[in-house]
Amino acid sequence: MENPFSAHVVVTVKRHVGRLLLPNLGLKRWLYDVTDYLWGTKTLVFELLSTEMDPTTGLEKGTIKGYAQKVGREEEDGEITYETELVNIPAEFGAIGAVLVENQYNTELFLKDIVIHGVPYGPLRFSCNSWLSPKSHSHDRRIFFTTKSYLPSNTPEGLKRFREEDLKILQGNGHGKRESHHRIYDYDVYNDLGDPDRGDEFKRPILGGKQHPYPRRCRTGRARSQADPLSEVTSSNFYVPRDEAFIDTKQVTTPAVKTVYSMLHGFIPALEAIAQDIESRFTNRVMLLPSSKYTWEPSALLPRLIDFAVDKVVRILLLGPSQAVLDSDKFFWFKDEEFARQTLAGLNPCSIRLVTEWPLESKLDPAIYGPTKSAITNEIVEQQIKGFMTLNEAVEQKKLYILDYHDLFLPYVAKVRKIEGKTLYGSRTLFFLNPDNTLKPLAIELTRPPIDGKQQWKDVFTPCLNSTGLWLWRIAKAHVLAHDSGYHQLVSHWLRTHCSVEPYIIAMHRQLSAMHPIYRLLHPHFRYTMEINAIAREALTNVGGIIETAFSLGKYSMEVSSMVYQKQWQFNLEALPADLIHRGMAVEDPNAAHGVKLSIEDYPFANDGLILWDAIKEWATEYVNHYYPDPGVVKSDKELQAWWTEIRSVGHGDKKEEPWWPILNTPEDLIDVVSSMMWVTSGHHAAVNFGQYYFASYFPARPSVARINVPTEEPNSKLWKRFLEDPERVFLDTFPAHIQATVLLSILSILSTHSPEEEYLGEDMEPAWGDDPVVKQAFDKFSGRLKKLEDIIDQRNANPKLKNRHGAGVDPYQLLKPYSEPGVTARGVPCSVSI
């Protein structure tokens, strides 16, 4: 190429969401239009960067500058197009590798993409998807690279300095308060869960450090509390780097707005029922009054109507299952089979584990918590399995499984019982594997440690037919379900998919350039997670938040999640096969379909999850091998090594000395690491999140808290007498309070909802992948495998041999079906931990 050439540049941007919310206000539109006129063609300034160095000076070549002018009117979705012509670009300028952009507008803009037409090797596309602060807020010009990915070692000379400087901007200097327009990623401990300035009762432990190990969150730099200088003050605005925030319509449907919708959504059925009751209760009375004198007066009726409405809402939420449940089986929640089935195909299929040692025994200090031996004896087990086999045979043949929340919760029993309206036990629930691969509950053990001068108390409850035993068994199940609900929300969901992932995201932005191939592989899996986590710290995990008020552990919830992180969380167990093997739910088997053989063949979460895992790992394998054909390049990739080192030593620094951290030396090591991250943010999160409303909206089926003790704990108490007189009332009193049920339902609806803009796994190809033929082919193959998974899941749900997902009144397991329509569907696997 010897002759100069001309290029036509098309820039697509979106206005700030505030303009989209008020599109028809004439004055506001007039002000925007006047501003456009005053700025003229200088609204967006951009400079093209060459990939080459000047051969004469050995320095970077000069830039080619242009000014983009708005063309046409703003589209309904807020998109605006800017265009310009660049003429006589010297042939010796070389290939364009990046563009610098400056926003001279009076407000921030969302830069979608830049396309340069007319270049000999084009058209050339820059996929930006980033907020541009106005020049008045930031004097830094933003840089965007082409869709071609480069490892640090093969970065074009003309782009090396810009690659390094962009990372330095994102790293910041570790000082100062973060403002909403900043793009800085840094670490801090969870020192903003409490509000010590309001008093001692609002203090909460700082999570992160020797006393309470925890992953790190994004640093905000807010002021420190006067009462506790180690804690940050609370605020209604939690900083996240600007590009982590929702965009456009997704921002319009943030949880604050969706909460209003959700509450209305919950009240509408109740109000319909209220209307009918009002008609029946008041019509006759109104008919007796002279119509000319008395009228319907809403203001006078409103207080009574509200009380009546709340009562109706509670009745509908607490005493009536959702329509989806009614359609299958009105009495499903009473059944032991359903209680057991949901450990394999329910909301928390990640806790059930194989019993490998007998007798069951606590590892806690007996001097503090009492005798360690379980009260579930050989005789109890053999009586329940009715001579089918001996206990020893059941253990040897892998027939016994357990939900074990005994040692985890027992240290907090005395503390939780001081909270009004909550009680707690340590619990063990034992199951037997039937020949048809279903589980049968055998026994529940509830334990209270020595407390208030009383010795340790424990009791074992079993399924039985006599009235007293049957009601006690139901009450014991309610307590176990509350324990499982708390563990699910704190550990399986929050800790493993939200909290532990945030350090990966922070380290990626700090250490991997946006042109790094691993950045481009992982970025779709990390999109919007930091925004969701910030909202959680503001309303869910904070003092007085939903987690504290609606779940069993109350104000000790986050402290318990720290203890679980310290004792249980390991990165090398986050991969699905490793997790299954660790829990005894599978063994390695190179001849098996997925390299593992399941202990329970009909385990819907694992059955579907392993296909999804294999697809993810195959996609990661082809992608990584494409960019790292030489195994030694992984070890020499300075950005990649800095990223992995920072995750281990800073983001998860409280566990940096653990021996189980993988070493990142080969492509195989890298494939294992990224596959685990991709699985956790997609498949694992989908399995524990998007079924929350479906499984837990009917509270007797899955209570989030138990409010009263088991009657047998004090057999001479008033509770025991009341139980004998009215066992059903005691049973219902064990469930969450009305307000707890109502509020939590609205939150579950939000968490379970797919937005219209949901980005599903394998659905949309990133521009950088589409521009590389090898990567495009690998992604197409990945996408095809996920489409096949849809059909496989449908076939399995229709298979009468698979009783944990098919049968009369049995809900099909669909949580790992890759795609879904918007709304609450209990299926669909988004790329990232988002809603």
Res. 35 pLDDT band, cuts 50 70 90: low
Is 498 among the residues known to form the active site?
yes
Is 137 among the residues known to form the active site?
no
- Taking only the tens place, the pLDDT of each residue in 414-424 is 999 999 999 99
Give DSSP secondary structure letters for 421-446: T----EEEEEEEE-TTS-EEEEEEEE
Sign of CA dihedral 175, 178, 182, 184: positive
Q: What share of the chain is helix, strand, coil (3-state, %, to 5)?
A: 45, 15, 40
Res. 229 pLDDT band, cuts 50 70 90: very high
Mean pLDDT over residues 363-376, rounded?
Answer: 98
The active-site residue out of 689, 709, 797, 804 is 689
The domain 5-21+28-146 having CATH identifier 2.60.40.1930: the answer here is no
Is 509 among the residues known to form the active site?
no
Mean pLDDT over residues 340-348, rounded?
Answer: 97
Domain 5-21+28-146 matches domain 349-489+698-736 at the CATH topology level: no
Burial 595-629 (b: 16+ CB within 10 A, else e): ebebbbebbbbbbbbbbbbbbbbbbbbbbbbbbbe
State the Cα–Cα distance between residues 435 and 803, nearest whole angstrom: 11
Q: How far is CA 327 from CA 650, 784, 804, 811, in A?
A: 50, 33, 18, 10
- Taking only the tens place, the pLDDT of each residue in 157-211 is 999 999 999 999 999 999 999 998 999 999 999 999 999 999 999 999 999 999 9
Sign of CA dihedral 800, 802, 803, 807: negative
Least confident residue range of 87-101, 312-326, 347-361, 530-544 = 312-326
Res. 108 pLDDT band, cuts 50 70 90: confident
Q: Are 66 and 86 in contact (CB under 8 A)?
A: yes
State the Cα–Cα distance between residues 371 and 378, nearest whole angstrom: 18
- Taking only the tens place, the pLDDT of each residue in 313-341 is 444 344 344 445 445 555 666 799 999 99
One-letter amino acid for residue 606 of the chain: A
Give the pLDDT confidence score for residue 279 in this predicted structure.
Answer: 38
231 Cβ contact list (under 8 Å, min separation 6): 191, 192, 194, 196, 203, 206, 224, 225
The domain 349-489+698-736 having CATH identifier 3.30.200.20: the answer here is no
> Collapsing DSSP states into helix, strand and coil, what is residue 517?
helix
pTM score, two decimals?
A: 0.90
Domain ranges of the chain: 5-21+28-146, 349-489+698-736
pLDDT at 90 over 70: yes
The active-site residue out of 316, 376, 532, 835 is 835
Give DSSP secondary structure letters for 189-217: -B--S--GGG-GGG--PPBSSSSS----E
The active-site residue out of 182, 685, 754, 806 is 685
The active-site residue out of 493, 516, 594, 754 is 493
- 443 forms bridges with which residues in the sheet? 430
Q: How many CB atoms lie within 10 A of CB 450?
A: 15
* Token couple for 545: 């938040």
Res. 20 pLDDT band, cuts 50 70 90: very low
- Taking only the tens place, the pLDDT of each residue in 701-735 is 899 999 999 999 998 899 999 999 999 999 999 99
Give the pLDDT confidence score for residue 71 in this predicted structure.
Answer: 85
pLDDT at 58 over 60: yes
Q: Are 690 and 825 in contact (CB under 8 A)?
A: yes
Q: Are strands 823-824 and 400-404 parallel, antiparallel or unpaired?
A: unpaired
Q: Are 138 and 108 in contact (CB under 8 A)?
A: no
Is 685 among the residues known to form the active site?
yes
Q: Check residues 463 and 284 and name the one with the higher pLDDT.
A: 463
Res. 744 pLDDT band, cuts 50 70 90: confident
- Taking only the tens place, the pLDDT of each residue in 442-462 is 999 999 999 999 999 999 999
pLDDT at 153 over 80: yes
The active-site residue out of 212, 479, 498, 509 is 498
Most confident of 13-17, 179-183, 431-435: 431-435
